[in-house]
Amino acid sequence: MITIHHLENSRSQRILWLLEELGLRYEVKSYKRLPSLAAPPELKQVHPLGKSPVLTDGGLTLAETGAIVTYLAETYGAGRLQPERGSPDWWRMQHFLHHAEGSAMPPLFMKLVFARIPAQAPLVVRPVAKALMRGVDQHLLAPRLADLFDYWDAALADTGWFAGPNMTLADIMMSFPLEAAGSRVGFEGRRNLPAFLERIHARPAYGAALARGGPYAYA
């Protein structure tokens, strides 16, 4: 039996969505975030890093969203949600499978963490912390995020999907960066990005995954 160790309001929602798209049976073990937003310590009993998602299937325990997505598609997908293997669209899909966690999420995570720093600083230094974080945001994060948003907007321009004419695993992986970006930053005139989110949110499998997963602040 496939089991997903799923943290509320998190990127593991993508795995539930993929499982629904593939029509697979699965069990969800749900975890609530601590007040600090960290995962609860029980997750470390499933995988030493204590992050979500983690998949277990038979004797296999697998962490990292990209690896889990690839595992499910290769093991149970029968070619679904993938362009022809080795084709330019397939390589484009590979690019976005890695890009989502490797390049897109780090600055979005920094944005979230830096925005929380001033509120956690002692009252006397809070104005300084705010000014510092504003500087980091303006000079370091904003230009990098703008480049990413332009890149994604252009990537979606032809077909509305990240890797060719049909929805693929790349779209499932990229959904979380786009959802996080939409809620933390906003898209300012890049119309392919909100259109992509509307398109995926309208899919029955996406809705079914939300119903299984519980709280998800991004959709």
Ligand X SMILES: N[C@@H](CCC(=O)N[C@@H](CS)C(=O)NCC(=O)O)C(=O)O
List residues near ligand X by CB under 6 A: 7, 10-11, 38-39, 51-53, 64-65, 101
Q: If DSSP codes are grouped into helix, strand and coil, which group holds residue 197?
A: helix
Least distance to ligand X, CB of residue 191, Å: 27
C-alpha dist (Å) from residue 125 to 114, 122, 185 = 15, 6, 26
Cα distance between residue 210 and residue 146, in whole Å: 29
* Helix, strand, coil % in the chain, rounded to nearest 5: 60, 10, 30
- With respect to ligand X, which residue has the nearer C-beta, 101 or 153? 101
Neighbours of 133 (CB within 10 A): 18
**CB–CB of 69/81 below 8 Å?**
no
Query: Is the CB of 38 or the CB of 217 nearer to ligand X?
Result: 38
Could you tell me the smallest distance in angstroms from the CB atom of residue 88 to ligand X? 25
User: Could you tell me the smallest distance in angstroms from the CB atom of residue 103 to ligand X?
Assistant: 12
Q: Which is nearer to ligand X, 62 or 132 (CB)?
A: 62
Helix 192-201, helix 204-213: angle, nearest 10: 70
Q: Report the C-alpha gap between 128 and 43 in whole angstroms.
A: 36
173 or 193: CB nearest ligand X: 173
Q: At residue 85, what are phi and psi to the nearest 5 degrees?
A: -55, 130
Structure tokens at 60: 């296999």
Nearest approach, Cβ of 188 to ligand X (angstroms)? 24
Minimum distance from residue 51 beta carbon to ligand X (Å): 3
For residue 61, what are the β-bridge partners?
56
Whichever of 11 and 99 has its CB closer to ligand X, that residue is 11
Rank residues 55 and 133 by Cβ distance to ligand X and give the closer one. Answer: 55
**Helix, strand, or coil (residue 9):** coil
Q: Least distance in Å: CB of 1 to ligand X?
A: 21
